Amino acid sequence: MKVTREKWSKNFSEWFDRVLAEGEFYDYGRYPVKGVGVWMPYGFRLRQNVVSLIRRMLDSTGHEEILLPLLIPQELLSRETQHIKGFESEVFWVTKGGSQELDVKVSLRPTSEVAITYMESLWLNSYKQLPKKYYQIVSVFRYETKATRPMIRLREITTFKEAHTVHETYEDAQKQVEEAISIYSKFFDELGIPYLLSERPEWDRFAGALHTYAFDTLMPDGKVIQIGTAHHLGQNFTKALDFKVQRRDGSLCHPHQTSYGISDRVVAVIISMNGDDHGPIISPKVAPIKVVVVPIPSKDDEEVTKRVFEYSKKVGDMLRESGIESVVDLDPEKTPGEKYYVWELKGVPLRAEVGPKELEKNSIFLKRRDTFQGKSVPLEDVIEAVTETLNSMFLDLRKNAESFLLNNVKYEKDPDKAKSLLSSGGIIEIPWCGDNTCGMKLEEITDARVLGYPLQDRKVNDPCAICGKPAKTVLRVAKTY
Amino acid sequence: MKVTREKWSKNFSEWFDRVLAEGEFYDYGRYPVKGVGVWMPYGFRLRQNVVSLIRRMLDSTGHEEILLPLLIPQELLSRETQHIKGFESEVFWVTKGGSQELDVKVSLRPTSEVAITYMESLWLNSYKQLPKKYYQIVSVFRYETKATRPMIRLREITTFKEAHTVHETYEDAQKQVEEAISIYSKFFDELGIPYLLSERPEWDRFAGALHTYAFDTLMPDGKVIQIGTAHHLGQNFTKALDFKVQRRDGSLCHPHQTSYGISDRVVAVIISMNGDDHGPIISPKVAPIKVVVVPIPSKDDEEVTKRVFEYSKKVGDMLRESGIESVVDLDPEKTPGEKYYVWELKGVPLRAEVGPKELEKNSIFLKRRDTFQGKSVPLEDVIEAVTETLNSMFLDLRKNAESFLLNNVKYEKDPDKAKSLLSSGGIIEIPWCGDNTCGMKLEEITDARVLGYPLQDRKVNDPCAICGKPAKTVLRVAKTY
């Protein structure tokens, strides 16, 4: 089978919409509210696997899960000035209950920094309780006026995992940001998602943060997507809400905070980053179904066909008993080809083809979704072969995705050339003096978005692409989602 | 230790509020929006155990989890006439996005029948796809004008597990209601929650349902609380949304639906139903912490105290290695008595006291939270003893709760006497002819709420308490939450 990737990479947007719908991941654009989607059963299971992974990682590092109210009153949301400025144009407001006007306008949470800080001020009063790490997994709402996109730019983001931490000192909070970065790095590694880590420039920080660090990756069309952020909030919110704790020396202080989040976009990337014209290839680590068993009827012998179907069920049972999520597609009305089409659209990593030949040889024919390479495997070796193939697929897919990202990060000292390079996607690193004015000018000239700069200063020989002064680092620019 | 139950049963409301707050289950009444609460880490873990249990039960019976949008436009919500009548006075409306008025008012879902029916009409078109069983676990919103109560009567219900199913015929839907009842029965049995199952009378059905079946239980103060409902929706919603499927014979029909739900109230009941003046006793099946290990320092020997603490940690490690969730309370600044107080308020089922005597004998002193009975257990038998004690506690607690419910269901043929009996709580069964007028009159005379009637007709010798005609069954009345 020929692997074709034209539609996937060249018509990505169309491909993505089709895969979400026909693969039955996510129903978008048909529910009668703009910018919201419906997680269908198969997509929900994928989402749930991702949620379980991050939950395990947070629980095992001392994070405690909580659940805060959806509604945040206007007064509370407005306490931190920078924060409300950043969000006020995109907040949904509830103004009525039944037929009554509400006394106070309440917002649908756009994020929860003020709400959690309010509760922390009731729960925490001493350094002895610190550090404290909370998280919740909830829907957040943004009244997006830009064009919305399924899972990527939404008015209801349904898988917002937000962590919020409290610390005695600035340095402790900085260490926590480092822990957050390390957790997210492992999380994306486990998912096989390559990333570039940048500190966002001052003019593009989270509203209310001192520092914003972001994980970005590349979509098949060459556009960059932000998949995770971590913020050092300093004392901005604790001062705004006058939340104080007693320090070791008995004095009172406003503690330091961090927050970090991931969203539905992680699922969007898992579906998108490995694929071809047949559909997505879901990473074996989180695929809801690892193997689909497809019986191939005999052309002329009904008795053999019957036995092939029985044998397929047996293969399915073996897989399930070993804890390998699998499906046996027994639909008598569909041809094997029609079945392949459906399961490829769902991105199931492995297919076990079972026909009269396999029945006779007591084997299966195991085919990889990514390469369409197949091999015959004796029945007694099935579990081992499936496990091994899933593992090598995971590594191969991750390697491919990493190469794709690395090959598309380029250095260019001339901003005009950078602009032209960006028309075919990717990330361009441009020498920069560190000055905001030069940074914003670079954004303007390249007609792209500044992602920020590497966490460690980069030695650059060329001067700043704008002012000609010595460059301190590189500034990364890209077309973004 | 004396077990006192005055505050628990006589001052239940105060007891409940105190336990939620001091036991760190749920922060209520302090967040600046009325009728919403915050799940704190310990309460969240309890909630999560309950959610996992119902998820397992639904997944293993062919239910598929999905996630629908929070926002339902006014037009869609109004399609089914009875439904909107039942809910319109208590719906929250979003009318603004940023500074703009929205074109159409959208509601925060009060429940999801219309939204799911809308999606089903896009997803399902043939009897071959039926039966179909979906569920989701989400927040729902009710603009309650009555007094709100934590976990019991809320404006944001955060643990609304709603199932929605589709069937070819009325009878298939009726069978599904029976499956729902059987799943919920097992669910409550596993949680040790006794219940009374009633069909709600016509005037108290779910808005848009043909039949409503409800699980009720008794709180310690003798008031009844509804903990689960199952509805036969017939074709009400499929007709209202003109959702049709092709039948076996090729004709088109509006399919039949059911829906069934449970909520935060289940957690409220778990916290409330077994308790005393020290706090709640959480059912061992879902308790987030099964055992707390409390080291008891030596009065005069610091070296022994140090060894007691080491030994306690060893006990905690043993428990955890066997998969028994436990905590070792090593706080050096608190006395054992202070620790007991805290963990009793959290309802941890077992306490392992470990002092110099236990250190010397290589044992622990294991104390049950419900009876405060203790026994010495050699270290090598700890896992077995803990497991066995947790099991017998579960059975004892369930039996107690069952007796409490059974002892408080009484038969009374005189409505005035029923009214006076109801002043001390419980459920009264009154002979009834089956006529709505008589039923509503009974509700009026007893100044209580009709729960409904048993699913099987009850043979009653006395005539209807209102009209004197032959009684068909009994009507259950109670003071309710």
- Residue B230: what pLDDT? 98
Residues of A in Cβ contact (< 8 Å) with B45? 65
- How close does chain B come to A395, measured CA to CA in Å? 30
Asked if B31's CB is within 8 angstroms of A115's CB, the reply is yes
Q: H/E element holding B406?
A: helix B382-407
- Strand B409-411 with B427-432, pairing: parallel
Q: Does domain A6-275 have CATH number 3.90.440.10?
A: no
| CATH architecture, range A409-478 | 2-Layer Sandwich (3.30)
A291-389, superfamily in CATH? Anticodon-binding domain (3.40.50.800)
Q: Tell me how crowded residue A475 is: count the other CB atoms within 10 A of its CB.
A: 30
State how far the Cα of A401 lies from the Cα of A393, in Å rounded to an integer.
Answer: 12
Residue B146, burial from CB neighbour count under 10 angstroms (0-12, 13-18, 19+): exposed
Q: Is A33–B98 a contact, with Cβ atoms under 8 angstroms apart?
A: no
Do A66 and B75 count as a contact with CB atoms less than 8 A apart?
no
List the beta bridge partners of residue B234: B257
Instruction: For chain B, give the percent of residues with pLDDT over 70.
Output: 100
- Is the CB of residue B252 less than 8 Å away from at least one CB of chain A? no
Angle (CA) A377 A379 A383, round 5° = 80
With CA atoms as reference, report the closest residue to A12 among A219, A315, A262: A219
Exposure pattern of B383-405 as b/e (b: 16+ CB <10 Å)? bebbeebbeebbeebbebbeebb
Where in chain B are the domains?
A: 6-275, 291-393, 409-478
d(CA B379, CA A248): 39
Give the strand pairing for A291-295 and A326-328. parallel
Write out pLDDT tens, residues B185-212.
999 999 999 999 999 999 999 999 999 9
Please determine, for residue B224, whether its predicted confidence score (pLDDT) is greater than 90.
yes
Rounded mean pLDDT of B361-371? Answer: 97
Q: Is A246 on the interface with B (CB under 8 A)?
A: no
CB B249 within 8 A of CB B243: no
Q: Who contacts A264 (Cβ-Cβ below 8 Å, separation ≥6)?
A: A47, A151, A152, A154, A157, A158, A159, A160
Q: In this structure, what token pair is assigned to residue B172?
A: 């298939």
User: Can you tell me which residue has the tokens 């919403």?
Assistant: B36
Kindly state whether B146 is in contact with chain A, defined as any CB-CB distance less than 8 angstroms: no
CA distance A148 to chain B (A): 15
Which of A65, A67, A91 is nearest residue B38 as measured by Cβ atoms? A67
The answer to whether the CB atoms of B98 and A37 lie below 8 A apart is no
Whole-angstrom Cα distance, residue B328 to residue B310?
10
Q: Is the peptide bond before A110 cis (omega within 30 degrees of 0)?
A: no
- Is the fold of A6-275 the same as that of A291-389? no
pLDDT of residue B378: 98
pLDDT per residue, tens digit, chain A (481 aa), is 677 888 898 899 999 999 999 999 999 999 999 999 999 999 999 999 999 999 999 999 999 999 999 999 999 999 998 888 988 899 999 999 999 999 999 999 999 999 999 999 999 999 999 999 999 999 999 999 889 999 999 999 999 999 999 999 999 999 999 999 999 999 999 999 999 999 999 999 999 999 999 999 999 999 999 999 999 999 999 999 999 999 999 999 999 999 999 999 999 999 999 999 999 999 999 999 999 999 999 999 999 999 999 999 999 999 999 999 999 999 999 999 999 999 999 999 999 999 999 999 999 999 999 999 999 999 999 999 999 999 999 999 999 999 999 999 999 999 999 999 999 999 999 999 999 999 999 999 999 999 999 998 889 999 999 999 999 999 999 999 9
- Cα–Cα distance list, A372 to A3, A22, A339 (Å): 8, 21, 15
Cβ density class B424-457: b for 16+ within 10 Å, e for less: ebbbbbbbbbbeeebbbebbebbebbbbbbeeee
Closest CB to A44 among B45, B67, B88: B67
- Could you tell me the CATH superfamily of domain B291-393? Anticodon-binding domain (3.40.50.800)
Predicted confidence (pLDDT) per residue in B288-320, tens digit = 999 999 999 999 999 999 999 999 999 999 999
Quote the pLDDT of residue B3.
77
Distance from CA of B206 to the nearest CA of A (A): 18
- The two three-digit tokens of residue A120, written as one number: 């922390």
Other Cβ atoms less than 10 A from the Cβ of A441: the count is: 15
**Pair of tokens at residue A55:** 């939950």
Say which DSSP state B448 is in.
Answer: S
Q: Which residues of B touch A106 (CB under 8 A)?
A: 33
Does B39 contact A at CB distance below 8 Å?
A: yes
- From chain B, the residues in CB contact with A75 under 8 A are 32
Contact by Cβ (8 Å): A97, B92: yes
Q: Edge-to-edge strand order for the sheet containing A100-108?
A: A71-73, A100-108, A92-97, B92-97, B100-108, B71-73
Residue keyed to tokens 């191969």 = A396
Question: Coil, helix or strand for B433?
Answer: coil
ipTM rounded to 2 decimals: 0.97
Closest Cβ–Cβ partner in B88, B118, B156 for A71: B156
CA pair distance A109, B38, nearest whole angstrom: 14
Closest CA to A239 of A121, A358, A131, A104: A121
Mean pLDDT of B385-400: 98
On whether the CB atoms of residues A429 and A459 are closer than 8 A, the answer is no
Query: Cα–Cα distance between B352 and B367 in angstroms, integer?
Result: 6
Report the alpha-carbon distance of residue B168 to residue A83 in Å, rounded.
52
Contact by Cβ (8 Å): B480, B470: no
- Asked if B27's CB is within 8 angstroms of A119's CB, the reply is yes
B101 CB neighbour count, 10 Å cutoff: 10
Q: How far is CA A442 from CA A202, A448, A475, B370, in A?
A: 14, 8, 9, 69
pLDDT at B1 over 80: no
> Residues of chain B with pLDDT > 90: what percent?
94
Q: What is the DSSP string of B188-226?
A: HHHHT---EEEEPPGGGS-TT-SEEEEEEEE-TTS-EEE
Angle B222-B227-B232 (CA atoms, 0-180°, nearest 5)? 130
Q: What percent of chain A is helix, strand and coil (3-state, nearest 5)? A: 40, 30, 35
Q: Which two tokens stand for residue B113?
A: 């029948």
SS3 A260: strand
Residues B237 and B120 sit within 8 Å (Cβ to Cβ): no
DSSP secondary structure code for residue A462 in this structure: S
A426-440 in b/e form (b: 16+ CB < 10 A) is bbbbbbbbbeeebbb
Q: Give the number of A-B residue pairs with CB atoms closer than 8 Å.
A: 149
Edge to edge, the sheet with strand A350-354 lists: A326-328, A291-295, A350-354, A363-368, A374-378
**Which pLDDT score, from 0 to 100, does residue A1 have?**
63
User: Could you tell me if B109 and A31 are in contact, meaning their C-beta atoms sit under 8 angstroms apart?
Assistant: no
Contact B140, B115 (CB under 8 A): no
Contacts of A141 in chain B (CB under 8 A): 70
The answer to whether the peptide bond before residue B131 is cis (omega within 30 degrees of 0) is yes
